[in-house]
Amino acid sequence: MKHQFLSLPGVAALLAFASTATAQMVVTTNTTTDTIVGFSPVDGSLISTNVFPVQDTVQTSAIAVGTEIWVSEQTGDRVVRYDHSGNIVGVIGPTLPGGGLDNIRNMTLISGVVYVTNDGANNGATADSLVMLDTAGNYLGTLPLSNTVSPWCVLPWQGDMLVSTGLGTATTDDVHRYTLGGVSVGTFNNSTLDFLQQISQASDGNVWAAVFTSDVVAKLDATTGAVISSFPATDARGVFELQNGNILWTGSGVWIHDVTTNTNTQVLAGGSSYQLSLIPTDVSYNRKVGAGCHSFVADRSNLFQLYPDVPSTKLALDGNALHFALTANGYVANWLPGAAASLYTAPTPGATIIANADSTNATFSPSAPIPVPGGTESVWTVSPNGILTAGTPGNQTTSSTATLSATATATRLAFYTWCNHNPAETGSGKIKWEEVGGKVLLTWDAVEFSGGTPTLSPSTFQFQLDMTTGDVTLVWLSFSNNTSTADVLIGCTLAGAGLTPVSQTLQLVSGVVLSPDVPLTPMTLAANPAPIINPSSTVNYTIGNIPETAPGSGLYLSTLVLSVAPVPGGIDLTGILTSAPGCNLYVGTLDVIIGTAITVTPTNVVPVTFSTPLFAPGNTIGAQGVGFFDAAFPLVNGETSGLLFSNGVVSATFAQ
């Protein structure tokens, strides 16, 4: 059953909310945050540090093409097409029918053709060329550039185009002029400027040039191409003249040059940014912001204690045992104090010596497969350093250095008394295995600890595998009396890589259940399609990964909140509405609560109709899902508030 609530204050707020978004925004890429960042074209002030995320590679330009944003990947050798919500709608390259892209730089849209500057010759590409694409992403051809080496940027110019270079030479120009068909028109600039990247239009008709190696932004004369003026700009990559006459430029971060005071002020710190371009903002979109709370995994698949040295290990282990009783997907572990003497079975003369070398691995196959969580195992791997692994290869290979972190990437079920033993050392006993009374017995029979003092300091311990039940028992009769300060790791890890375990006190283990790790997956919110006004449109807001109201109930309670005040950066809710850290609020007001529902799946789809007069073109609406659970049953991360929150969605409404 669904219930919808539309608060009167919320209606009033929405009716009053008629401010429209800025029609355009200056954008660039940021290689540190892997996002598109946006600035005011009027004064260069920062609008958004995350217009939307992009792929983790070097992105050199983002331009508007129709209703999409195209981003060039210099190291990805491709152009990625995004909608204004940041969803990938297409990819162009690296290979193309009859051509290709390699080490591409900036892009420019001229008369319905996107020109991509291309430096390399891999992927079927032509070195030092312009690759032409239509606005649907189709390959139109490649224009070799006769007078440009390592092209960076294209600027439409008096019916032709100017192309800048990152590698001007004695025979090539820093900026050369070509027709739109790639025919040379002549030199525009060939000066002492070194490594030009973006060139852009100046309001007085001249040309701005960001010059990377020369560390300047220069103005070039419209007629002669000569340098008229310049100002310092370290590692300059992109340049754009603002409506107030100041200059926005990129390098390490983004800067504004004040033409009156001749000073630079940083408006975005960190990361390399490249080409600056105008994109429209009067486009409908649904943009995800932030993340749902509590991405958490409860470690249930490990049971370990890390001892700081051999003496403390001996004190804890001697005469004791640790029993693992098999369950369907793991074990139940119990510490057995003083049980070693009664459980230990000395190896017979017929026992087989195994792993009889330092830093080695060996396998054995019992007469029948042994039950393990989820199945059986017929081959076992032994490390002389005290590790028994179900299957092959063995966990930790031949490492003698015991660490908790190393077990996180180990992928097989294994039992550990992990430290540096060497059965090949002079005077050492051997590692032996055999089957006795329905059990596999794997015994370190007076095997020498390697290093430390005294020289002769053997250990005797045993792994027992019940071939019928699958139970495993670790029995420590007498651990080494060595004074070594080397770490010793005792315990078990289930199959599959997981978290780095924490050290527990094994002497307190009673009925501890080992089972697969329990994940807490964040709630999600998605919206589709983008909201259109005139005619009206219905946007489906989908809340996902809703928590069960109570364990085993099969019921899920959630609601959707709409707000005229989105908070893209989020408000930390720890101690306010949540008990555990990691939850944020992405709506500044609770104007509309809609779509409250109890569902039998962890998904709730809430339709919202965008139409006048409630909504107007230019409105920006924030949305966030809220899930409810019985606080008497805390979540696996300890959350007891009874509330979970999704990521936010910012929806921008515009006319068709």
Please state, for a pLDDT cut of 90, what percent of the chain lies above it. 82
Environment class of residue 353 by beta-carbon count within 10 Å: exposed (0-12), middle (13-18) or buried (19+)? middle
Please state, for a pLDDT cut of 70, what percent of the chain lies above it. 96
Helices first, then strands: H and E counts in the chain: 4, 56
- pLDDT at residue 535, as a whole number: 77
What confidence category does residue 170 fall into, taking pLDDT thresholds of 50, 70 and 90?
low
- Model pLDDT for residues 323-354, shown as the tens digit of each residue: 999 999 999 999 999 999 999 999 999 999 99
Rounded Cα gap, residues 383 and 224, in angstroms: 77
3-state SS record for 404-432: CHHHHCCCCCEEEEECCECCCCCCCCCEE
- pLDDT at residue 17, as a whole number: 35
Q: Helix H segments across 573-648? A: none
- pLDDT at residue 467, as a whole number: 98
Q: What is the pTM of this model?
A: 0.64
What confidence category does residue 270 fall into, taking pLDDT thresholds of 50, 70 and 90?
confident
What confidence category does residue 656 fall into, taking pLDDT thresholds of 50, 70 and 90?
low
DSSP one-letter string for 42-94: TT--EEEEEEEE--SS-EEEEEEETTEEEEEETTTTEEEEE-TTS-EEEEE-S
- pLDDT at residue 617, as a whole number: 85
Which of 20-34, 570-584, 596-610 has the lowest average pLDDT? 20-34
Listed in sequence order, the residues at least 6 apart from 201 whose beta carbon sits closer than 8 Å to its beta carbon are: 155, 207, 208, 241
* Mean pLDDT on 423-435: 96
Rounded Cα gap, residues 542 and 544, in angstroms: 6
In residues, how long is the chain? 656
- Model pLDDT for residues 71-117, shown as the tens digit of each residue: 999 999 999 999 888 889 899 999 999 999 999 999 999 999 999 99
Q: Do domains 22-281 and 288-294+521-655 have the same CATH topology?
A: no
At residue 625's C-alpha, the angle toward residues 620 and 629, to 5°, is 160
Question: Which of the two residues, 174 and 3, has the higher pLDDT score?
Answer: 174
Q: How far is CA 291 from the centre of its chain?
A: 12
- pLDDT at residue 6, as a whole number: 37
- Model pLDDT for residues 528-549, shown as the tens digit of each residue: 988 988 778 999 999 999 999 9
pLDDT at residue 9 is higher than 60: no
| Per-domain residue ranges of the chain | 22-281, 288-294+521-655, 300-516
**3-class state of residue 452 by DSSP:** coil
- pLDDT at residue 21, as a whole number: 39
Q: Count the Cβ atoms, other than its own, within 10 Å of residue 32.
A: 12
- Which element (helix H / strand E) includes 317? helix 310-317
What confidence category does residue 216 fall into, taking pLDDT thresholds of 50, 70 and 90?
very high
- pLDDT at residue 169, as a whole number: 63
**Residue labelled with tokens 């701005």:** 208
| Closest among 399, 410, 421, 557 to 476, alpha carbons compared | 421
pLDDT at residue 231 is higher than 60: yes
Q: How far is CA 575 from CA 99, 295, 568, 581, 639, in A?
A: 58, 18, 20, 8, 11
Report residue 564 as tokens.
Answer: 């005229």
pLDDT at residue 369 is higher than 90: yes
pLDDT at residue 5 is higher than 50: no
Q: Which amino acid is at 534?
A: N
- Model pLDDT for residues 279-329, shown as the tens digit of each residue: 988 888 888 889 999 988 889 999 999 999 999 999 999 999 999 999 999
- Model pLDDT for residues 611-654, shown as the tens digit of each residue: 988 888 888 899 999 999 999 999 999 999 999 999 999 998 88
pLDDT at residue 392 is higher than 80: yes
Rounded Cα gap, residues 29 and 73, in angstroms: 10
- pLDDT at residue 366, as a whole number: 98
What confidence category does residue 18 fall into, taking pLDDT thresholds of 50, 70 and 90?
very low
- pLDDT at residue 168, as a whole number: 63
| Closest among 104, 90, 120 to 29, alpha carbons compared | 104
Q: How far is CA 189 from CA 177, 219, 354, in A?
A: 9, 11, 77
- Model pLDDT for residues 569-581, shown as the tens digit of each residue: 899 999 999 999 9
pLDDT at residue 451 is higher than 70: yes
* Mean pLDDT on 19-25: 60
- Which element (helix H / strand E) includes 200? strand 196-201
* Mean pLDDT on 44-58: 90
Listed in sequence order, the residues at least 6 apart from 304 whose beta carbon sits closer than 8 Å to its beta carbon are: 404, 407, 416, 489, 490, 491, 492, 493, 501, 502, 503, 504
Tell which CATH classification among 3.20.20.60, 2.130.10.10, 2.60.40.2550, 3.40.50.720 matches the domain 22-281: 2.130.10.10
Q: How far is CA 364 from CA 388, 413, 423, in A?
A: 11, 16, 17
- Model pLDDT for residues 109-142, shown as the tens digit of each residue: 999 999 999 999 999 999 999 999 999 999 999 9
- Model pLDDT for residues 452-497, shown as the tens digit of each residue: 899 899 999 999 999 999 999 999 999 999 999 999 999 999 999 8
Question: Which of the two residues, 384 and 617, has the higher pLDDT score?
Answer: 384
Contact 303, 512 (CB under 8 A): yes
Mean pLDDT for the chain?
92
* Mean pLDDT on 418-427: 95
pLDDT at residue 254 is higher than 50: yes
pLDDT at residue 206 is higher than 80: yes
- pLDDT at residue 171, as a whole number: 61
- pLDDT at residue 126, as a whole number: 97
In sign, the C-alpha dihedral spanning 488, 493, 495, 497 is: negative
Rounded Cα gap, residues 377 and 654, in angstroms: 62
Rounded Cα gap, residues 134 and 145, in angstroms: 20
CATH topology of domain 288-294+521-655: Immunoglobulin-like (2.60.40)
What confidence category does residue 272 fall into, taking pLDDT thresholds of 50, 70 and 90?
confident
- pLDDT at residue 185, as a whole number: 96
